[in-house]
Structure 1
Amino acid sequence: MSPELRHARVLVVDDNAAFLDNLQELLSDAGYEVGVASSCQAARERAKEGFDVSLVDLRLPDGEGTSLAAELKKAMPESEVVLLTGFATLETAMAAVRAGACAYLMKPCAPQELLLTLEQAMRQVRLHGEKRVLARRAQMTEKLAAVGTMTAGLSHEIRNPLNAAALQLSVLERRVRKLPEGQQGPLLEPLGLVRDEIRRLDHILEDFLQFARPREFRPEPVEVEALLRRVGDLLGSQAEARKVKLEVVLPSPISRVLGEEERLRQVLINLTLNALDATPEGGEVRLSASEDSRGIWVTVDDTGPGIPVAVRDRIFEPFFTTKAQGSGLGLPIVHAIVTQHGGTLEVGEAPGGGARFVLWLSKGAPAPAQPVG
């Protein structure tokens, strides 16, 4: 999840216990999520939990801070490292630059100077994230262009034969039902399988069409509480059939957002169905909402296996899927709808270890957006 939707994480590495305690208190009061380590080895272990900025002492009991800084930058390229030292020299400053540190502070440093340096480092972290998002959007734009080109031919060449096949299948089914009952069963079963496959192909084609066709965006006030309860009601029977608990947790009252209710319902149904599919019997899917002065967060949590970190950045790419069947356009369509609403959609880990999708929507009017599928 981006730093804008959570506390920024700071890893402090220093072998002075009193200094660590002071920094942890100062940074926690400033709103940072703070982790501490007193050696290179401990820092390597803590770094596995993730961090945005690391404050690293130049001299540590089991190694040099410059070497550790280079390791941390290699492990977390989008993070930043600030080196701390009580013995500043030209050589150590040059070593800090070579290690990839973004800043170099003398100990003891004034609280305001430290906080200002951290904020500057966080700006760099946010820039790294924005560059990654822009690169991913550029890649998605190329794939979208490919989808549009393919759809122009596919919609006619595939839809017509599908419609003809479905029609002939209906004719055949009516004829079979006129036979004696004892003869119908062995014939109706394969017909049902064929019908399901035609329906699946039709849904895949509809995904292509929906993703490629421009559509005008007409926002209106949407009651979030009613929207979430409606999704819970619609999918309640499917949750029961899967023996999964579906819970909707809402504050009362909750503000409205501007958007298209039908399309937002499509987003939440898709995310909730994915969560139900991923959750084993006896598990739980939780649909919840919260708000602040800026907007509303809708969270979908499940107790399934979760989404591996390695693929989280790719799940909104067109055609990328981890399922055996499907077009790979379900989540990209969801992401496109959310983007058109001026919102964000991010994936992470739920408290129960499963997947967590966090949808953010502004209470105000969405910024003008290009029509998307």
Structure 2
Amino acid sequence: MKDSKQHEVDLRRLLAVLILGIALTAGLSLWVLLRLHHRQVHTAATRNVLQLGVAMDAYLAGQTEVVSNRTVTSWEHFSALVQSFYTVEQGLQYVAVTENGVSVFHRQVAPHPSGETVQLPARERSGPEWSSAPLPRNVRLRLKVLRTGDHDIPVVTFTKDVVSVNGSVKSVEVALRREIVDREAAGPVAATTAMFEVAVVTVAVAFGFCIILVLWVMRREEAYEKRRQKEEHLAFAGSMAGGVVHDFRNPLSSLKLDVQMLREEADSEAAGSRETIKELATRATHAAERMEEVLQQFLSLSSPQEEEQQAMDLGVCVKDCLKMIETRLARQKVTVDARMMEDHLQVSAYATSLRRGLLNVLMNAEQHSPQGGRIVVSLRREEEMALLEVADCGPGIPAGERDHVFEKFVTTRPGGTGLGLFLARTAIEKCGGTIDVTEAEGGGACFSMRLPLAGVTASHAPRT
């Protein structure tokens, strides 16, 4: 019972760990999907920024101030246009125009960093988001950092060369702060993060509910199993009580009648009363023995002894059992034909239980044999099993009833307890063997018992 309870506890823990593992796997999968989605969102935001920078650079490069040869005062319209761009997109850091390497226009629309512009190393200037983006051939992309005393401002610059009317080359450079990529991705990232959190909470609640439900079902099944076992025990106790009353009634009535007649004979002075008294005393003794036999069988059924499995000589055990019923056999004038083809067959068995079971089979054969009958007992080896057969010359057992003769309280003999063959089957199966009944040659019943030989019991585990 303790092992069964421990098994149930281990099963509950296993199921809880399994469900928890599935929940963690689901959560990890959601996290991986979230990271992949964030990466895709960031990539899409980067491409949007690239398209914005290219469009702004191309638009500014096409302005009259750039392609013509106007004076510095004519750049006021260009400056106002840059300011308008900043109003729409505050991620714009500056716009610069150079001609033959000389700066002709520079407008710092964002807060001006009082520091130098540093180009990033090559490993920081290239990335999957920036390098994979399609750009026009005449637009150059660079990642820079505007360093100040307090902080750095990472920017991405777009430079386009334009040939003016006088043949000079002007370069229009638009710088966008890279933080606008995060700003572009902030909305989708926040939405997917919220969805992830909701999904995680949903998964946690669902799997938590599953764990609680599984534990509740297992506890319910455990309670049902305990209730069923209790009902079976009560039913078995009722059957035991009914069997005891039924099987004690006949010998007890006979004993009571014999004692009454014995008392009457003791008071009588008739001749021959001595022989009658002796006969009545013998009958009373037999009735008491019968009651003791019934009581012993019920005790064996209700409280089986605990013993260890060990190697034992099956031939010696059979001979001992035959010797124990020698008087009964002589009384019925029943002979035994013992065909011990292999006397010393060592089997792995529970000695006390097996001896009692074999004794019950032999007594069953004696009880069903007619007066002057014969019982054939044979023992031989059959592969890795010992085969013991007990055949009588009684009325036999109908084919339709052979599957039921080993059940509790099933008997074909008037006055039988219906426990002898049940105890025999229980003992033999406990040793890892089998027992069945067939029709014997010439009529009668033949009980075949197979028991594993000592040393080969690993493949024949005992049944309980």
Q: TM-score, normalised by structure 2?
A: 0.40
Q: Which protein shows a greater Rg?
A: 2
Q: TM-score, normalised by structure 1?
A: 0.49
